[in-house]
Amino acid sequence: DTGVSQNPRHKITKRGQNVTFRCDPISEHNRLYWYRQTLGQGPEFLTYFQNEAQLEKSRLLSDRFSAERPKGSFSTLEIQRTEQGDSAMYLCASSPAVPGYGYTFGSGTRLTVV
């Protein structure tokens, strides 16, 4: 297992287009988190899953954002009708379900909306 994998690494899209990002967590990790990070700021929590259940989604930035983890393995984050303000780094992290361990992050997907 090589850690948390995110694809693509970079995405440039035109305003109004839909984009989807993929995250493959560490296979033994039950929990999967999505964060957004803009320049000079810390990661901002969006949503998380325990196995296939999405346990917190109230902090998704708008109804244009949605996430899935259909079989409790990989996850996707979709942004519909992208806006320039969506330009950011989107990070995925995974962890065991038992608390008290650090979170393993992927390298992120850099989204640029033009």
Partner 1 sequence: SQKIEQNSEALNIQEGKTATLTCNYTNYSPAYLQWYRQDPGRGPVFLLLIRENEKEKRKERLKVTFDTTLKQSLFHITASQPADSATYLCALDKSGGSYIPTFGRGTSLIVHP
Residues that bind partner 1 (CB under 8 A): 4, 6, 33, 35, 40-45, 48, 55-56, 89, 91, 93, 99-108, 110
Shortest gap between Cβ of 56 and partner 1 (angstroms)? 6
Structure-block tokens of residue 3: 């850690």
| Residue 3 burial (CB count, 10 A) | 12
Euclidean distance between CA atoms 42 and 96, whole angstroms: 22
> Closest CB to partner 1 among 22 and 80?
22
Structure tokens given for 12: 């440039």
Question: Closest separation between CB of residue 16 and partner 1, Å?
Answer: 26
Which tokens go with 63?
């109804």
Q: Give 10 or 15: the residue with its C-beta nearer to partner 1.
A: 10
